[in-house]
């Protein structure tokens, strides 16, 4: 690399000629200059073209779904971005601010708003559909064979346009039909071949065979063929049989009710996403609807939700508090020991202590789950014990804390090492000169000054462990099962309990209740953090 030498002659007669060495431009400066010209403009236009293409694609989807407000916002935002990045340099701050704002809205604000919205609905298993689709599903699911209903041997096929049809042969009369969503049409005997009671060839239709039948079950289950008789349909039962069905419930659009054909019982909209009889019997499926504060009331009023919630809450606070206490204590102890002057192999020992922090946490948790296994775990074999580390409620909690200690102490070891080295040595030396013991120096000087830097990190670590889903779920799965036989296991913390509510509660999923619990977790962590930060302000006086 050459050095540019510039000679500067001063006008001051008393000053000699001065030679100033000007360093060559840095790589960053050269790249900025390169991308500031035509190349940068071309790249800018190319990236804007990609953004506009994505916007057009998203606009087509929103328009197809009839979401015109979202489409208008998308168009306005896209135009604003185009104008912003093509205007002169006066808008440079906005050019950096806008991408961060977009990501903030997309990945923080929108998920929060969506979660809050779900918390006030009954979205769960059996209440996943809009009301119109739920009505259609009830009509389809409540079909039953009439006493004199026909049965058909069926062959799935494609018509000339590639649409699914059913080639049917009446088992009683032997007449062949083609069934579509419009109805049954008799096939001409001259253009149809029936073998073994099933249609094998039919003019204008291609029977499906072999791999073509794979994955067809779901499509066939929702495929019904009107027979021409009122409220009578033909539906596939498997891949080779179809039967005639009639509804057991009839829907009255004017009254918005279902009536049981056999008993005459009327099922009305209960305002909570279900059709319910006067006796409280419910027809499934229901639909998604706004239920107000019902999910929050369940947490307080429903003992099947309330009792596990408060038990899990107590353990969550204990788990987060003890995890922070243990990891900080061990990290601080090791930092003090390895900060002593004259210690041999100091750097090597510090490097070895960071190893658990360098390995992905989810991988280490899975490794520990194997090491602590009752049957083949190496921990019991080495110790010569038979401790049920993961299958006893109390030992599982101990295991969770020990594994989290292994994962967390390197972090506080690094933090405390840096904080200790930042404390002026003059303070501790002055204290020793005044006759303070090592314990008094640590308690009166080192620890308070250390907490000034570490207290916010302790609060952040508490919040992290309060929601440390991976450490619990990958190690114990929240188990073992608790004595109250609830969905919450003995080691479940609130976030893993929320996960189980969302995906394994009651009939299955309960997203509304899980979202309500998520909001409560947010306020709990926020409240504890706010109190902790307000208390930690007292430490600032030590500065």
**Residue 50 binned pLDDT confidence (cut-offs 50, 70, 90):** very high
First to last CA, the chain: 47
| Stretch 171-189: mean pLDDT | 91
**Residue 83 binned pLDDT confidence (cut-offs 50, 70, 90):** confident
Min mean pLDDT across 15-24, 109-118, 196-205, 249-258 is at: 15-24
Give the Cα separation of 474 and 366 in Å (integer).
Answer: 6
Judge whether residue 195 has pLDDT over 50: yes
Give the Cα separation of 210 and 292 in Å (integer).
Answer: 51
How confident is the model at residue 57, as a pLDDT? 94
Judge whether residue 102 has pLDDT over 90: no
Give the Cα separation of 369 and 496 in Å (integer).
Answer: 17
Residue ranges per structural domain of the chain: 27-119, 131-283, 301-542
Which residues, including other chains, have CB under 8 Å from residue 152's CB and lie 6 or more apart?
166, 168, 169, 170, 171, 177, 234, 241, 242, 243, 244
What's the number of CA atoms in the CB half-sphere (13 Å) around residue 219? 14
Judge whether 182 and 194 are in contact, CB under 8 Å. Answer: no
Which one is predicted more confidently, 8 or 506? 506
Of 491, 87, 69, nearest to 322 by C-alpha is 491
Which one is predicted more confidently, 195 or 25? 195
Token digits of residue 178: 């083609």
Whole-structure pTM value: 0.76
Omega of the bond leading into 285 within 30 degrees of 0 (cis) = yes
> Cα separations (Å) of 340 from 57, 334, 346, 424?
63, 10, 9, 15
Give the Cα separation of 483 and 489 in Å (integer).
Answer: 9
> Cα separations (Å) of 225 from 68, 180, 183, 327, 446?
35, 6, 5, 66, 82
How confident is the model at residue 539, as a pLDDT? 55
**Residue 405 binned pLDDT confidence (cut-offs 50, 70, 90):** very high
pLDDT in tens, 346-382: 788 888 888 888 888 889 999 999 999 988 889 999 9
Give the Cα separation of 485 and 497 in Å (integer).
Answer: 14
Token digits of residue 165: 């049809």
Judge whether 168 and 184 are in contact, CB under 8 Å. Answer: yes
Judge whether 259 and 265 are in contact, CB under 8 Å. Answer: yes
Judge whether residue 275 has pLDDT over 50: yes
Judge whether residue 106 has pLDDT over 90: no
Give the Cα separation of 481 and 397 in Å (integer).
Answer: 12
How confident is the model at residue 5, as a pLDDT? 44
How confident is the model at residue 6, as a pLDDT? 45
How confident is the model at residue 19, as a pLDDT? 62
**CATH class, 301-542 region:** mainly alpha
Which one is predicted more confidently, 2 or 24? 24
Give the Cα separation of 404 and 468 in Å (integer).
Answer: 10
**Residue 3 binned pLDDT confidence (cut-offs 50, 70, 90):** very low
Give the Cα separation of 37 and 34 in Å (integer).
Answer: 6
SS3 assignment, position 257: strand
| Stretch 259-278: mean pLDDT | 93
Indicate the average pLDDT of the chain: 86
Give the Cα separation of 52 and 83 in Å (integer).
Answer: 12
> Cα separations (Å) of 74 from 42, 58, 79, 99, 505?
24, 8, 9, 15, 37
Judge whether residue 54 has pLDDT over 80: yes
Give the Cα separation of 422 and 451 in Å (integer).
Answer: 12
**What percentage of the chain carries pLDDT values higher than 70?**
91
Q: What are phi and psi of 155, to 5 degrees?
A: -130, 110
Which residues, including other chains, have CB under 8 Å from residue 479's CB and lie 6 or more apart?
390, 391, 396, 489, 490, 491
> Where are the strands (E) in 261-335, listed by range?
266-269, 275-276, 282-283
Pick the CATH number of 27-119 from 1.20.140, 1.10.20, 1.10.10, 1.20.58: 1.20.58
How confident is the model at residue 468, as a pLDDT? 93
**Residue 8 binned pLDDT confidence (cut-offs 50, 70, 90):** very low
How many Å is the Cα radius of gyration of the chain? 36
């Amino acid at each position: 690399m050459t050095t540019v030498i510039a000679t500067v002659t001063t006008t001051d007669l008393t000053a000699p000629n001065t030679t100033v060495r000007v360093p060559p431009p840095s790589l960053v400066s050269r790249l900025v200059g390169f991308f500031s010209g035509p190349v940068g403009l071309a790249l800018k236009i190319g990236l804007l073209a990609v953004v506009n293409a994505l916007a057009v694609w998203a606009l087509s989807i929103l328009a197809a779904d009839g979401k015109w407000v979202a489409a208008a916002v998308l168009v306005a935002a896209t135009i604003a971005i185009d104008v912003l990045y093509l205007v002169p340099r006066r808008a440079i701050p906005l050019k950096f601010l806008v991408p961060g704002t977009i990501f903030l809205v997309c990945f923080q604000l929108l998920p929060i708003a969506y979660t809050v919205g779900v918390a006030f609905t009954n979205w769960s298993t059996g209440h996943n559909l809009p009301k119109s689709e739920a009505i259609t599903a009830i009509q389809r699911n409540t079909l039953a064979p009439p006493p004199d209903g026909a049965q058909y041997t069926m062959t799935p096929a494609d018509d000339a346009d590639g649409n699914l049809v059913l080639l049917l042969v009446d088992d009683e009369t032997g007449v062949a039909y083609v069934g579509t969503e419009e109805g049954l049409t008799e096939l001409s005997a001259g253009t149809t071949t029936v073998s073994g009671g099933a249609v094998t060839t039919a003019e204008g239709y291609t029977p499906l065979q072999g791999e073509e039948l794979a994955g067809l079950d779901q499509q066939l289950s929702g495929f019904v063929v009107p027979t021409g008789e009122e409220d009578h349909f033909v539906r596939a039962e498997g891949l080779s049989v179809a039967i005639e069905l009639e509804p057991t419930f009839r829907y009255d659009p004017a009254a918005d009710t279902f009536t049981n054909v056999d008993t005459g019982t009327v099922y009305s909209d209960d305002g909570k996403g279900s059709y319910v009889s006067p006796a409280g019997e419910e027809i499934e499926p229901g639909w998604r609807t706004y239920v107000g504060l019902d999910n929050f009331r369940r947490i307080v009023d429903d003992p099947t939700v309330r009792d596990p919630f408060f038990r899990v809450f107590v353990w969550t606070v204990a788990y987060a508090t003890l995890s922070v206490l243990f990891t900080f204590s061990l990290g601080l102890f090791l930092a003090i020991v390895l900060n002593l002057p004259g210690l041999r192999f100091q750097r090597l020992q510090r490097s070895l202590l960071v190893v658990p922090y360098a390995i992905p946490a989810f991988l280490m948790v899975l490794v520990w789950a194997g090491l602590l296994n009752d049957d083949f775990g190496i921990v019991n074999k080495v110790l010569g014990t038979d401790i049920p580390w993961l299958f006893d409620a109390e030992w599982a909690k101990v295991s969770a804390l020990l594994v989290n200690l292994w994962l967390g102490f390197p972090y506080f070891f690094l933090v405390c090492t840096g904080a200790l080295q930042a404390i002026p040595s003059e303070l501790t030396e002055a204290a020793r000169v005044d006759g303070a013991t090592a314990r008094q120096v640590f308690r009166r000087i080192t620890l308070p000054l250390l907490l000034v830097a570490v207290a916010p990190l302790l609060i952040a670590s508490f919040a992290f462990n309060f929601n440390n889903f991976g450490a619990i779920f990958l190690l114990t799965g929240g188990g073992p099962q608790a004595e109250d036989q609830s969905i919450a296991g003995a080691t479940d913390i609130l976030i893993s309990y929320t996960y189980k509510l969302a995906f394994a509660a009651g009939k299955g999923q309960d997203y509304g209740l899980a979202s309500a619990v998520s909001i409560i977790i947010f306020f709990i962590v926020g409240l504890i953090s706010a109190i902790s930060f307000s208390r930690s302000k007292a430490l600032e006086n030590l500065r």
